[in-house]
Copies of this chain bind each other. A is one copy, B any other.
């Protein structure tokens, strides 16, 4: 069966997509895909998401240059989550970190602390002050 017909998109027509570094295994980010975003991702090998806030397609890195070259597309057993193995250019996170998951729960079990180093200055990428 075609992957586009297999994936079960939710009531909003969306499924979460995880981007994972194909080399290191680092989980970089999670965004959302509709059927067309998944189709474009497979066809172009550039990770393409659906922006829920902007209600538009979003080629990751189109603005920042931090493209995700897709090496493999996987689907989970329930076919409601997508996993992309990608070659990430630069930082996946708009805050300038390689991965969006740069904060971890501290040993006290309560506090969130930043555990990764910033890769780039976000202002240099998006021109924000």
Task: Give the complex CA separation of A38 and B102 in angstroms.
Answer: 18
Task: Give the complex CA separation of A24 and B26 in angstroms.
Answer: 10
Question: How many copies of this chain does one complex carry?
Answer: 2
Per DSSP, chain A at the interface is mixed
Task: Give the complex CA separation of A30 and B100 in angstroms.
Answer: 17
The answer to whether the Cβ of A120 comes within 8 Å of any Cβ in the partner chain is: no
Task: Give the complex CA separation of A110 and B78 in angstroms.
Answer: 18
The answer to whether the Cβ of A97 comes within 8 Å of any Cβ in the partner chain is: yes
Nearest-CB residue, chain B, relative to A105: B73
Cβ B77 vs Cβ A100 within 8 A: yes
Task: Known A-B contacts: A16-B81, A72-B104. Give 6 more (CB < 8 A).
Answer: A1-B112, A6-B112, A24-B25, A30-B81, A42-B109, A74-B105
